């Protein structure tokens, strides 16, 4: 189980399991998408080959960025 979870991690944040807009399950495509991008395919080609047609789901892949390191710089104020 830990190996499966590690494959979805980029930085310290996990790729979303579902599309935020339509709720379609998309996490199972992340590893293959990432591999295709590393092999030199354009994001459009990779998403077309994976059969991801909805623009909301495509957006999830195109705009995903791990921001945990940026957020970790800020301290949450816990009061006196």
Output DSSP code: residue 74: S
Residue 69: its pLDDT value, please?
65
CATH number for the region 2-72 comes to: 1.10.10.60
CA 38 to CA 53: how far, in whole Å?
21
The domains of the chain are located at 2-72
Burial of 30: CB neighbours in 10 Å, binned 0-12, 13-18, 19+: buried
CB-based contact 55:46 (threshold 8 Å): no
Query: What averages of pLDDT result for each successive group of 10 residues across the chain (80 residues)?
Result: 48 76 92 92 95 94 74 65
């Amino acid at each position: 189980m830990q190996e499966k979870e590690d494959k979805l991690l980029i930085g310290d944040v996990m790729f979303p399991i579902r599309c935020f807009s339509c709720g379609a399950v998309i996490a199972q495509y992340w590893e293959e998408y990432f591999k295709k991008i590393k092999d030199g395919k354009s994001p459009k080609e990779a998403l077309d080959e994976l059969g991801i047609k909805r623009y909301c789901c495509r957006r999830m892949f195109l705009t995903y960025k791990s921001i945990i390191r940026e957020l970790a710089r800020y301290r949450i104020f816990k009061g006196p």
